[in-house]
Structure 1
Amino acid sequence: MFRSPAAALLRRLAPLLSGGTVGSGSSTRRTLPPHIAPSVLFRFSSTPTSSPPPSSIGARDEEVEGDELQGAAGNVGPKLSISVDRSGLYSPPEHSHEPSSDSELIKHLKSIIKFRSGPISVAEYMEEVLTNPQSGYYMNRDVFGESGDFITSPEVSQMFGELIGVWAMCLWEQMGQPEKLNLIELGPGRGTLLADLLRGSAKFVNFTKALNINLVECSPTLQKVQYNTLSCEDEHDGDEKRTVSKLCGAPVYWHASLEQVPSGLPTIIVAHEFFDALPIHQFQKGSHGWCEKMVDLAEDSSFRFVLSPQPTASLIFLSKRCQWASSEELEKVKQIEVCPKAMEITEQITDRITSDGGGALIIDYGKNGIVSDSLQAIRKHKFVHILDNPGSADLSAYVDFAAIKHSAAEVSDDISVHGPMSQSQLLGSLGINFRVEALMQNCDEKQAESLRTGYWRLVGDGEAPFWEGPDDQTPIGMGTRYLAMAIVNKKQGSPVPFE
């Protein structure tokens, strides 16, 4: 049973979204295959057919004099002392990877380490590998889809973007249907999610007329892909030029960061598979405490993992994260991943929502608690070692939703944080069952098979029970592997479907 305003809106949306047809509205619309090739591993997969190679470090701890990390006042959690594992700096690691020839990015990484005469953090390694302006993984290529390295939910089915549009329109109604609205997507990939959102909401003219579309994207290559996906055209008004999406007539702007998006308008922010690519710091617990995992060069000039020879500045973020955890949670983990950038961006989102009103929807794979050792590299839908040929594979890590919640709550008393709930719960409550039934009425058998497969991948858990094809091509659902969280201004009340 759906509650207002979602109930009334969903009754209208079920038959109206995209006209109730599969992939309508664009001559360049993607055609989804009835199944994904057996070699394809989704980026969200937490149970790969072959596990990522280990990156553990031998432990011989040496206690370091200095400050101790301990819980906040009133927290009975154990004290956490800083320690340094020096053995990793001199002992060959279990895995060393030397590419056949050094790319410009590899040369750049090695020059940083040699210039500093010491290792760099995992976070700095990730940032360089993914977003180095000249040769970062995301900067000069389209990495999404079957021909790329991984597949995301919007590429699985048009229903995903359409239902995120339902959520946005429900929040817009709760905001009082403002005449102008900033719709912001962080890390929009190909722009597929937003294109499906706009097509699905095209018949709700007052909503689409209100939109100023803002894409936070640092990759010039992906900006061009997004321009085409959104059917953009440049228009001239006197001496001024603006870009407009022909899907809805709304102006489109690109920004390198959220801070660059002009403030002052009610705002809806969507962040799907954005936080998982932010750089993380990794810490390892030894017999005397915690020390940071780093990337260094071995004697043969290959990359290897070591532990920091001295306390690092990022220990302050570990301390902060541990204050949010219970003593029982801390006792269970030997490694902790902390993402300061996620904390920072969450604070920016919270500030924007506090001042301008609106809300944000965050969807990603992760945990509602401490993340231990989740960093992974994927190339051509297969797991590879994290240090293998940097820049040729996607790097990502599980999102710590508990840290996002605490980061937002500390910034403002005028916002409320809801969730996380599973992606299956989110899409089910937003009406994916209604939507798939409407689409089934206007498709052939091949499209119907694609819809069933896409539906299961979005909301299912484990292997699809209806599958009659080859066992190695059985669709694997991500309904419980992905989580959704909403941050909203309290003036709007609780967002659907988080009541």
Structure 2
Amino acid sequence: MLRGPAAALLRRLAPHVSGGGCGGAIHRRVPPPIASSLLSRFSSAPTTFSSSPPSSSSVAGHDEAAKEEETTEISNGDSGDRLSISVDRSGLYNPPEHSHEPSSDSELVKHLKSIIKFRSGPISVAEYMEEVLTNPQSGFYINRDVFGEGGDFITSPEVSQMFGEMIGVWAMCLWEQMGQPEKVNLIELGPGRGTLLADLLRGSAKFVNFTKALNINLVECSPTLQKIQYNTLKCEDQPVGDGKTTVSKLCGAPVCWHASLEQVPSGLPTIVIAHEFYDALPIHQFQKASRGWCEKMVDLAEDSSRFRFVLSPHPTASLLYLSKRCGWASSEELEKVEQIEVCPKAMELTEQIADRISSDGGGALIIDYGKNGIVSDSLQAIRKHKFVHILDDPGSADLSAYVDFASIRHSALEASEDVSVHGPMTQSQFLGSLGINFRVEALLQNCTEEQAESLRTGYWRLVGDGEAPFWEGPEDQTPIGMGTRYLTMAIVNKKQGSPVPFE
């Protein structure tokens, strides 16, 4: 039974279906110049030189005229003498204009190959993953919109407006537990197209004191997605002194973009939302071998035409993180696994969040697909809503891995004694406890039949388990519920008590 502050907030949400954010298939990650410099040096050299003719093999393909000596006469001052300079050009080999077939490799593939060749050895799965997803020039997330039916996958906010609204209920409840501060940093990590935040702001529009308190901070590295988020949040730039500030017309709150959480100003109570962010952080993979745990690496095949997986022949620095992760596991858990995935960046990010919440107050909500324990071998690639091989055409598919929620818990608790960790619970339990059942009933009373069908489908995808039993459409479009595959976890300042709905 819904009760307390969440119930009061839910009753006051906007009663209508907003435009967009409903329906759509869900396939999201579920079980998810040297030559020029040399030439310039030759052309500028003032010295007279002569070289002996090379062997015939070294000058194959030369023009016969190039073998002849070129003689130039230069006047020697007032004496009128002439100085003869002979240059033997037979040793200057000019390769044909097209000495080989052009490569069909993408710029990212060329970049990855050059890294491996420069190091004369393989790179870690984590480095491969980071380059593929966030390389500044060719990374998967950097220069295009990968979300929605026209992209490569669909996330929960794109499925239904109700998801963002429920996150808004959670954020407002936390704000009340914090004592309703006049100013609060609302931070979203990896906002995608900004759909979740837009639905959160629309749903909370009636709660003026809450929206007035917001300073919105978006942690986003993609310029393309930043522009989309700007439009989704209906932002506009307003002059302030000699500069300008960006404001969302959905609620009047200022909006700033940052490349990392560290760049977000501290000092204010903080609400962090990390929805499907952790799963894209680069992971290291380890495999048990006869000589112990070995790191799985990405190398070039012998003909350098493709990538392949290999095991590192020597210990790697990331074994320190593996040792740390194994220290959090029981001997029984370790005996059952032959492979382990470790995400150092998830540990470091969690420590940053815990430190900020400890000093400034507030809390963080993490929603992702994963396990509450060791993750073995979950790395996967999705292109145009279909699974593909991880090493196939890097940069053209999304890479993601299961989130290790147990690791997040330990990282937060070790980082600060002033925070508490709650969960994980399933997404179905989380949304149900916040009142999504009542929300869908309210929306169904104020919508068209087409909207009603979209609401029911979206509801199932958010909280259901497996294929929807009510579906009468094409089999390849059957809604698949992700209510039990996705988990939610909260990290809060201990002074605020247990957050809704983790009491």
When normalised by structure 1's length, the TM-score is 0.85
- CA separation in 1, counterparts of 2:448 and 2:130? 45
Counterpart for residue 425 of structure 1: 429
Secondary structure of the residue that 2:4 maps to in structure 1? coil
Determine which of 386, 393, 400 is the counterpart of 1:396: 400
Pick which of 237-246 and 339-348 moved more: 237-246
Does residue 43 of structure 1 match 2:28? Answer: yes
Q: Which runs of 5+ in 1 are unaligned?
A: 24-28, 49-98
Q: 1: CA distance between counterparts of 2:234 and 2:424?
A: 33
Measured in 2, the distance between the counterparts of 1:455 and 1:467 equals 13
Task: Quote the Cα distance in structure 2 between the aligned partners of 1:32 and 1:459.
Answer: 14
**What is the correspondence of 1:387-466 to structure 2 with a 5 Å cutoff?**
387-466=391-470
Structure 1 distance, partners of 2:114, 2:209, is 54
Partners of 2:380 and 2:390 within 8 A in 1? yes
- Please list the CA deviations of residues 101-156 of structure 1 after superposition, one character each: whole Å capped at 9, or x if unmatched: 21111100000000000000000000000001111110000000000000000000
Deviation of the 1:205 alpha carbon: 0.1
Report Cα offsets for 1:192-216 as digits up to 9, x if no partner: 0000000000000000000000000
Q: Distance in 1 between matches of 2:337 and 2:452?
A: 45
Deviation at 1:314, TM superposition (A): 0.1
Match runs of 1:370-381 below 5 Å: 370-381=374-385
Whether the aligned pair in 2 keeps the contact of 1:486 and 1:495 (CA below 8 Å) is yes
The alignment partner of 2:382 has SS state of strand
Structure 1 pair 460/31, CA: closer, same or farther in 2 (3 Å)? closer
Query: In the aligned structure 2, how far is the partner of 1:472 from the partner of 1:169?
Result: 38
Measured after TM superposition, the shift of residue 438 of structure 1 is 0.8
Deviations 1:381-436 (A, max 9, x none): 00010000000000000000000000000011110000000000000001101110
Structure 2 equivalent of residue 66 of structure 1: none
Per-residue CA distance 1:318-377 (angstroms, 9 max, x = gap): 000000000111011110000000000000000000000000000000000000000000
Q: Tell me how far apart the structure 1 counterparts of residues 7 and 234 of structure 2 sit (CA, whole Å).
A: 31
The answer to whether residue 342 in structure 2 is matched with residue 338 in structure 1 is yes
Instruction: Report the equivalent of 2:188.
Output: 185
AA at the equivalent of 1:322: C
1:7 partner letter: A
Instruction: Read off the aligned partner of 1:475 and give its amino acid letter.
Output: P
Mapped to 1, the partners of 2:107 and 2:243 lie a distance apart of 39
Partner of 1:290: 293
Task: Give the TM-score taking structure 2 as reference length.
Answer: 0.85
Cα distance, 1:31–1:215 mapped onto 2, change above 3 Å: closer
Q: Is it true that 1:133 corresponds to 2:136 in the alignment?
A: yes
Structure 2: distance between partners of 1:288 and 1:3: 56
Q: State percent identity of aligned pairs.
A: 86
Deviation of 1:2 after TM superposition, in Å, equals 3.2
Q: Partner of 1:5: helix, strand, or coil?
A: helix
Native 8 Å contact 1:376 1:383 kept in 2: yes
Match of 2:318 in 1: 314
In structure 2, the CA distance between the partners of 1:3 and 1:493, relative to structure 1 (3 Å rule), is farther
Check whether the contact 2:7–2:435 (CA below 8 A) recurs between aligned residues: no
Q: Verify the 8 A CA contact 1:44 1:481 in the aligned structure 2.
A: no
For 1:210, which of 208, 213, 229 is the aligned residue? 213
Give per-residue Cα distances to partners, 1:136-179, cap 9 Å, x unaligned: 11000000000000000000000000000000000000000000
Equivalent residue pairs, number: 433
Find the aligned partners of 1:196 and 1:348 in 2 and give their Cα distance: 27
The separation in 2 between residues aligned to 1:338 and 1:388, in whole angstroms, is 23
SS at match of 1:102: coil
* Aligned ranges 1:207-286 → 2 under 5 Å: 207-286=210-289
Structure 2 letter corresponding to 1:30: G
Structure 1 residue matching 2:121: 3-state secondary structure: coil
Partner of 2:350, secondary structure, is helix
Q: Are the equivalent residues in 1 in contact too, given 2:351–2:412 (CA < 8 A)?
A: yes
Query: What is the aligned partner in structure 2 of residue 143 from structure 1?
Result: 146
Amino acid at match of 1:448: A
Shift of 1:235: 0.2
**Equivalent-residue separation in structure 2 for 1:402 and 1:315 (angstroms):** 18
Q: 1:488 aligns with which of 473, 487, 492?
A: 492
Q: Taking CA–CA contacts closer than 8 Å with sequence separation of 6 or more, which of the two structures ends up with the larger relative contact order?
A: 1
Residue 390 of structure 2 corresponds to: 386
In structure 1, how many angstroms separate the alpha carbons of the residues matched to 2:243 and 2:281? 35
- The structural deviation recorded for 1:3 is 4.2
Partner of 1:6: 6
Residue 349 of structure 1: SS of its match in structure 2?
helix
Q: Which runs of 5+ in 2 are unaligned?
A: 33-101
Q: Distance in 1 between matches of 2:213 and 2:473?
A: 46
Tell me the distance in 2 between the aligned counterparts of 1:117 and 1:455: 52
2:30 and 2:177 mapped to 1: Cα distance? Answer: 35
Q: Which amino acid aligns with 2:27?
A: F
What residue number does 1:161 align with?
Answer: 164
1:360 paired to 2:364: yes
User: Deviation at 1:44?
Assistant: 3.5
Q: Give the match for residue 30 of structure 1.
A: 20
CA separation of 1:453/1:468 partners in 2, compared to 1, >3 Å: closer, same or farther?
Answer: same
Q: Deviations over 1:193-248 (max 9, x none)?
A: 00000000000000000000000001111000000000000000231200000000
**Please, which moves more after superposition, 460-469 or 99-108?**
99-108
**Structure 2 residue matching 1:20: 3-state secondary structure:** coil
The aligned residue for residue 16 of structure 2 is 21
Following superposition, the deviation at residue 464 of structure 1 comes to 0.9
Q: Retained in 2: the 8 A contact 1:44–1:478?
A: no
- 378 and 344 in structure 1: CA distance in 2 versus 1, 3 angstrom threshold: same
Is the Cα contact below 8 Å between 2:218 and 2:258 reproduced in 1? yes
Distance 2:433 2:463 in 1: 11
**Contact 1:461-1:478 within 8 A present in 2 as well:** yes
Q: Which moved more, 1:152-161 or 1:462-471?
A: 462-471
Contact 2:2 2:435 in 1 (8 A): no
In 1, the alpha carbon distance for the partners of 2:160 and 2:491 equals: 25
Deviation at 1:441, TM superposition (A): 0.4
Distance in 2 (CA, whole Å) between partners of 1:160 and 1:244 is 23
Cα gap change, 1:31 to 1:374, in 2 (>3 Å): closer
Cross-structure match for 1:194 = 197
Give 1:100 deviation, angstroms: 8.2
Instruction: Establish whether residue 117 from structure 1 lines up as the match of residue 120 from structure 2.
Output: yes
| Distance (whole Å) between structure 2 residues aligned to residue 100 and residue 393 of structure 1 | 21
